[in-house]
Amino acid sequence: MNRSRTDLPAEGHARLRVVDPSASARPIFSSARDKRTFLYCLSLLLDMLSLVAGYMVALELREEKWLAAGGQSIIYIALPIFLMFEIAREAQDVETLGNRLTGIQRSLSALGATAIVIIGMGFLFKAEEISRLGLAVTFGAAGIFIILSKVFLNFIVKKTMGDAVVATILLLDGLPARAERHAAVVDVAADGLWPDLDRPDMIDALSHLIAPYDRVVVACRFDHRPAWSIFLKGHDVGGEILLDRDLLHGAVAIGQYDEHDTIILSRGPLNLMNRIQKRALDLVVAVIALILLSPLLAIVALAIRLESQGPVLFTQLRVGQGNRQFRIFKFRSMRADSSDAAGTMSTGRDDQRITKVGRVIRRTSIDELPQLLNVIRGDMSMVGPRPHALGSTAGDELFWHASQQYWLRHALKPGITGLAQIRGYRGATERVEDLARRVRCDLEYLSNWSLWSDILILLKTIRVVMHKNAY
């Protein structure tokens, strides 16, 4: 039996025991999602190189002038079209990595569609100088190279991912279950660990445990199911609960694991292309903003140092994506000896802890700008639910006491701005209703995410940078 241990932070002292169900099953310690992203990129690169290789073969039979239209080589026209069809046909996804024939079929389909478009464009623009033989050889040879590249890719997939393209972990919480081959198993019940919604340390430990996996299957006792349901819905992985009786907790589908039925509670909020789009927007906006705002950041940093002793930046533990905790960066706006690292005291309108510089930068939201570094690091996004400190309260109740739906809002990365902020829900949460409004906005954002909605929220943020509740 192989064992690995993960310490709980803060007040938790439980240990996690990882058990191999068979000699052939090995825990996957690195992120399977990261491995697949690399394999998707490699697959796309090989497909593009196959088309280039087909063009090079055609050049051996025909001069370059016979493989050009209007002085422009057809390869420069065909490549972006081929890329578009590759994306549209989903030539790079879990199915194509797991099934070589499916990968070949989709890539050849994209190649055939590209050939039809090129031929159609030649007919439309009367490009009679293009060699028909040259086109036939280009796409015919490219098809052969694609088939060969898929065989090579399949070899790389086996070496990288083993026999399991989707990484699965089975969590045992009081209900016996037999693990499928290649699945990792964690007996959390043996250590008294479960998603106690009153224990952020347990939530954090479990979140880090399941983060490297794509699919989480929970075999839990009946009275723990509501908590597991909320926990899984608030994560960026697929989550399922084993069924032993007819009870659903907002399931999105019915699945199967070994000989048991499961209720599927989450599939992860964004697919690969959406994650790429959102991350690309984050990096472009964050890098450009840092460059353009660097003089302002330097001036603010200098003003903070001149006014009061202490560090320029204030860091605080916040709840991030998948309910995993991270340290957020802000400009220090309070006296160093009065800073609230735990976030247990909400900032008031006439808070005496705030410095003169701090009052200005809080009023103008400049104190939030260092979070651009969190975006570049990957802890945060430009747009998403705002991350809260562990000690944040709504009225006299901790956030997760005030609303159990609070844990669901962390399925995406937290943002510098969000839907709740542009609707004016900022400042102290003096009543439970203040938190409820923000949570509703966050869940609405998660349900209706699109790249265009992120862009609109960023643009609308400009008009609420200075807000009556920013203090």
Summarised one tens digit per residue, pLDDT across range 185-238 is 889 888 888 888 888 888 888 988 888 888 899 998 888 888 898 888 887 778
Co-location of 330 and 448 in the same domain: yes
Instruction: Let me know whether 40 and 138 are in one domain.
Output: yes
Token pair, residue 153, equals: 């890719």
Would you say residue 4 lies in a domain? no
Same domain? 249 vs 337:
no
What is the chain's alpha carbon radius of gyration, rounded to the nearest angstrom?
Answer: 27
Distances in Å between the alpha carbon of 449 and those of 295, 384, 385? 33, 10, 12
Q: What dihedral do alpha carbons 384, 263, 274, 78 form, nearest 10°?
A: 180
Q: What is the pLDDT of residue 5?
A: 34
The answer as to whether 208 is a domain residue is yes
Least Cα distance to 442 among 283, 319, 274 occurs for: 319
Residue 8 maps to a domain:
no
pLDDT-derived band at 266 (thresholds 50, 70, 90) equals low
Looking at the chain, the whole-number percentage of residues with pLDDT higher than 70 is: 80
Q: How far is CA 193 from CA 10, 108, 184, 196, in A?
A: 14, 49, 17, 8
Contact between residue 471 and residue 353 where contact means Cβ atoms under 8 Å apart: no
What average pLDDT does the structure give for the chain? 80
**C-beta neighbour count of 235 within 10 angstroms:** 26
Q: Are residues 152 and 236 in the same domain?
A: no
Q: Does 272 have pLDDT greater than 90? A: no
Confidence band for 69, pLDDT divided at 50, 70 and 90: low
Structure tokens at 376: 């570049």
Q: How confident is the model at residue 339 (pLDDT cuts 50, 70, 90)?
A: low
| Domain stop point among 209, 232, 267 | 267
Regarding whether 112 and 42 lie in a shared domain, the answer is yes
Q: Which residue has the higher pLDDT, 46 or 75?
A: 46
Residue 56, amino acid: M
Is residue 362 domain-resident? yes
Residues 38 and 155 in one domain: yes
C-alpha–C-alpha distance, residues 112 and 110, integer Å: 5
Asked if 175 and 221 touch (Cβ cutoff 8 Å), the reply is yes
Based on the fold, state whether residues 285 and 397 are members of the same structural domain: yes
Q: Which two tokens stand for residue 262?
A: 């499961």
Same domain membership, residue 301 and residue 341: yes
Q: In the numeric block, which tokens belong to residue 303?
A: 């003003």
Residues 253 and 183 in one domain: yes
Of 247, 267, 287, which residue constitutes the final position of a domain?
A: 267
Residue carrying structure tokens 């491995």: 35
pLDDT, tens digit, for every residue of 137-157? 888 999 999 999 999 999 998
| pLDDT tens digits for range 448-462 | 888 889 999 998 888
pLDDT of residue 28: 39
If you search the block for the tokens 């203090």, which residue do you land on? 471
CB 380 within 8 A of CB 414: yes
Whether residue 9 lies inside any domain: the answer is no
Give CA–CA dist 232/265, Å, rounded.
Answer: 7
The bridge status of strand 415-417 relative to strand 381-383 is parallel
Domain membership flag for residue 11: no
Query: Does 384 reside within a domain?
Result: yes
Assess whether 247 and 294 both reside in one domain.
no
User: Which of 252, 267, 282 is the last residue in one of the domains?
Assistant: 267
Rounded-to-integer distance, Cα 73 and Cα 55, Å: 10
Q: What percent of the chain has pLDDT over 90?
A: 23
Residues 211, 305, single domain; the answer is no
Burial of 295 (0-12, 13-18, 19+ CB in 10 A): exposed
Domain with 23 in it: 18-27+167-267
- Cα distance between the two ends of the chain: 55
Q: What pLDDT, on a 0 to 100 scale, did the predictor assign at position 14?
A: 40
Kindly state whether residue 12 falls inside one of the protein's structural domains. no
Tell me the pTM: 0.59
The residue among 400 and 110 whose pLDDT is bigger is 110
Q: Which amino acid, residue 283?
A: L
Question: Do 249 and 356 reside in the same domain of the chain?
Answer: no
Longest dimension (CA), the chain: 81
What are the Cα distances from residue 116, in Å, to 25, 40, 53, 221?
Answer: 46, 25, 19, 57
Structure tokens at 75: 């390869």
User: What's the CA gap between 211 and 200, in Å, rounded?
Assistant: 16
Report pLDDT for 158: 87
Residue 129 near residue 64, CB atoms below 8 Å: no
pLDDT of residue 127: 57
Long-range CB pairs of 137-140, under 8 A, 24+ apart, other chains included: 137/54, 137/57, 137/58, 137/61, 137/62, 138/51, 138/54, 138/55, 138/57, 138/58, 138/67, 138/74, 138/75, 138/78, 139/54, 139/111, 139/112, 139/114, 139/115, 140/54
Tally of domains in the chain? 3
Give residue 70's pLDDT: 62
Place of tokens 């103008």: 364
